[in-house]
Structure 1
Amino acid sequence: MQAGELRYQGLEVNGHADLQRWLTVNAGATWLDAEYRATTPAIVGNRIESTPRFQAVLGVNAKVPQVAGLSLHADASYVGAQKVNSANTFEVPAVTLVNAGGAYRTRIRDHYVTFRVQVNNLANRAYWYSTSSNTLQIGAPRQVSVNARFDY
């Protein structure tokens, strides 16, 4: 779009709570009203593509007290439906994804080593999302990563 006006207005809320010394919860939510204002008359008032009205995330981090150095985490993220084009004639549905993982930090000889595992899209959910006008991408399938970090 060469000239015109887009309006983004909304509310974002984030929070963090230490429920126990070993348990932390993080949460966030965004409500966004995004619309075309002064532009081509056919799309004035339409929702701006690739912009969900609502997004939220909830995450939990836990240090396992019974095993020194072990921590586990999980999060669920929700992304609302998104219009794919400025005419608002096509929409991708909302999606909720769950991720989980863990880390174990230990000492080997004189060095600390952290082993990590992460699983994204735990349920292997198939989904689409929009990244720009008239563009669709398929979401990533379940991904598992394992790594180690050595501190010298």
Structure 2
Amino acid sequence: MIGKISQLATIISIAGVALNAGLFFAFDTTVMKALRDQPAPQGIATMNSINVHILNPVFLLVFTGSAISCVAVLVTAPFDGLGGTAWRVAGAIVFLIGTSVVTGAVNVPMNNALAAVDAASAEGAAYWQTYLSRWVPWNHVRTVSSLAAVILMALGFRR
């Protein structure tokens, strides 16, 4: 029974974490570059709109569901007898720290601070530059950690 639960948790984690990696990759390679090219008021307004619209049931299911399934992998993998335990556990830890913790500790507070600035003010424009210079590198961390987590869990799953 624990083997079936662990196997299912691993499959769900791989799929969900891969979706997160793709989302963060899209921000790294396209979205943030396009926003950087906009005048500060438009860039701020668009990013604030993205931050509102991303809080939808599908995204929240994938993001929080991935974290929950990674916790399930951490709890079940050492006892499931399926092999590849260290790889799967490592992948779950990498996602939880590099994506979930970074999102909650860095990206979300920065998004909240951006929502509070006056986009048309000089202070808003200055914060926009600070936001871009900090938010983007942390998003790279989320992208790389999500991709690494997928690879690690997939390597463990095939063992």
User: What TM-score bracket applies, with the shorter chain setting the length?
Assistant: under 0.3
Q: Tell me the TM-score normalized by structure 2.
A: 0.24
Higher helix proportion (structure 1 or 2): 2
With a CA cutoff of 8 Å and minimum separation of 6, indicate the structure with the bigger relative contact order.
Answer: 2
Q: Tell me the TM-score normalized by structure 1.
A: 0.25
